[in-house]
Amino acid sequence: MPAYFLGIDVSTTASKVLVIDMAGAVVASHSEPHTLATPHPLWSEQDPREWWAASCTSLRAVLRDVDVDDIAAIGLTGQMHGLTLLDANNEVVRPAILWNDQRTGAQCAAMTAQVGAQWLYAHIGSLMLPGFTAPKIAWVREHEPDAFARTAHILLPKDYVRFRLTGAYVTDVSDGSGMALMDVRRRAWSDALLAALDIPRALLPELCEGPEVCAHISAAGAEATGLRVGTPVVGGAGDQPATAIGSGILQRGQTSMTVGTSGVVFTANDEYQPEPDGRLHTFCHAVPGQWFHMGVMLSAAGGMRWLQDALVPGSSYDELSALAGAVPRGADGVLFAPYLTGERHPHPDPLARGAFVGLTLRSGMGQLVRAVMEGVAFGLRDNLELLRSLGIEPATAAVSGGASKSPVWRQILTDIAGIPLYTVNSSEGAALGAAILAAVGAGAWPDVPSACNAFIRQVDISTPDPAAVADYARLYPAYRALYPALRASFAALAEFEG
């Protein structure tokens, strides 16, 4: 058997290609950046052709270090929900509308009213939210009817790259769940929902499981990338379930916290158990026969990047972390509402905004930085509390993303969560998860748990400080009160902005 497995991650920021060997060690990696367009407030778009160009560059870069004949299989992962439209000639119809785009509030409300809220979130495992694919389809149909009329195929970001590699219109069930058009319990497209929303089934890709071989590299894909014709390609996963696989989060109660641009609390479940009020996503896991719960903050470490860019562009993240470490818990009475790009969980509100509350003449940059760190951690705790309401009590959690690299922020996260947090022996995240799925699809491992047991182990562990846990328990209710107190102001500001 060839020795290597390849993962492609089509994220918001870059197309990354990772190659691992039979021991899970990284033997080659390359990342090529993407640009992001925000043509109007609340909008977020990218050109799918840029994903493909960046993926081709990254693939050719790693193949300078790896013999193409040693690639046994390929897995794909990437940003979820992004609406990617192709015409009958497979040309891109319009820029892709991304996961963090917030323009579709009216379409979400109309779709929910059309089928009924209770039926809907019991069916799709979530409320209908602006980031999802289905309301974006409705938005294009309403606001760009010519573009919709030209549409012959609807894909997700990683699946556009798969199409260019293989010619196949396929998505996996974990990524497909985020389109809000599946019967998530059945792991299949929902004929009833498609009919109610008047979305033709013929526009949608085929569904497959994460480690299932669903396509092979075509002659055109091989010519563009240097890959071998016929190389198997597995279903892969959305970025969050792929990251979970890369952290070994496979069974009920196993939990991870990802603090990247967005913030995610993720836990696996061996049954379909949606949150009764739809305040979490409950989607198909990339592990066959498993589901997952996911609480999402739309801005997490992205809040720290905003603070740096807006106020201290010459400072490094290490310098900002040191400033926060010199400030006591509670940031001298300053709280931060971390809703810089709207919010998803537990407050599904595209009009939500960021806010500092409690500023005084003593408030300096250290207080602001620490308040941002604590506000993001409190937002993640909101989602942990939703898991606990389902009877899922995480004993520990894997932590990853930019915040995990800061000892100060990592300690704040574990103190506010109230449980130990650990890192794993790889920081490759979603790309590693995609490569693991490829290894299983190639037959190198009998199933995903076997592969993860071989590749993944815990390393650094952060333990809660009991005094800090008590302090943050007293402060948490004040944080919880911020959104209800500010919600009407957020809406009024959005109305003023138009």
Provide the strand spans (E) within 122-189: 151-155, 170-172, 182-183, 188-189
Output the tens digit of pLDDT for each of the chain's 498 residues.
568 999 999 999 999 999 999 989 999 999 999 999 999 988 999 999 999 999 999 999 999 999 999 999 999 999 999 999 999 999 999 999 999 898 999 999 999 999 999 999 999 999 998 889 999 999 999 999 999 999 999 999 999 999 999 999 999 999 999 999 999 999 999 999 999 999 999 999 999 999 999 999 999 999 999 999 999 999 999 999 999 999 999 989 899 998 988 899 999 999 999 988 888 999 999 999 999 999 999 899 999 999 999 999 989 999 999 999 999 999 999 999 999 988 988 998 889 999 999 999 999 999 999 999 999 999 999 999 999 999 999 999 999 888 888 999 999 999 999 999 999 988 788 999 999 999 999 999 999 999 999 999 998 899 999 999 999 999 999 999 999 999 999 999 999 987
Model confidence pLDDT, tens digit, residues 247-303: 999 989 899 998 988 899 999 999 999 988 888 999 999 999 999 999 999 899 999
Is residue 290 within 8 Å of 268, Cβ to Cβ?
Answer: yes
Query: Which residues are CB-neighbours of 25 under 8 A, at least 6 positions away?
Result: none
Pairing relation of β-strands 14-20 and 26-33? antiparallel
Model confidence pLDDT, tens digit, residues 111-143: 999 999 999 999 999 999 888 999 999 999 999
| Annotated catalytic residue, options 9, 239, 382, 415 | 239
How far apart CA 432 and CA 331 sit, in angstroms, is 37
Is residue 38 within 8 Å of 103, Cβ to Cβ?
Answer: no
How far apart CA 301 and CA 372 sit, in angstroms, is 9
DSSP alpha helices (H): ranges in 313-447? 317-325, 365-389, 407-417, 430-441
- Distances in Å between the alpha carbon of 449 and those of 175, 256, 428, 479, 497? 20, 16, 18, 38, 50
Is 388 buried (19+), middle (13-18) or exposed (0-12) by CB count in 10 A? exposed
How far apart CA 171 and CA 15 sit, in angstroms, is 18
Is residue 371 within 8 Å of 306, Cβ to Cβ?
Answer: no
Strand partners for 297: 263
Q: What tokens appear for 336 in the block?
A: 């931060």
Q: At what angle do helices 407-417 and 317-325 cross, to 10 degrees?
A: 50
Is 404 buried (19+), middle (13-18) or exposed (0-12) by CB count in 10 A? buried
Supply the pLDDT for residue 312.
94
| Radius of gyration, CA atoms only, the chain | 22
User: Per the omega criterion (within 30 degrees of 0), is the bond before 346 cis?
Assistant: yes
- Distances in Å between the alpha carbon of 361 and those of 332, 334, 365? 11, 11, 12
Supply the pLDDT for residue 276.
86
Domains, the chain, with CATH or none: 4-241 (3.30.420.40), 248-428+465-498 (3.30.420.40)
Asked about 318 being catalytic, the answer comes back as no
How far apart CA 122 and CA 309 sit, in angstroms, is 41
Q: Mean pLDDT score of the chain, rounded to an integer? A: 95
How far apart CA 369 and CA 364 sit, in angstroms, is 9
Supply the pLDDT for residue 350.
84
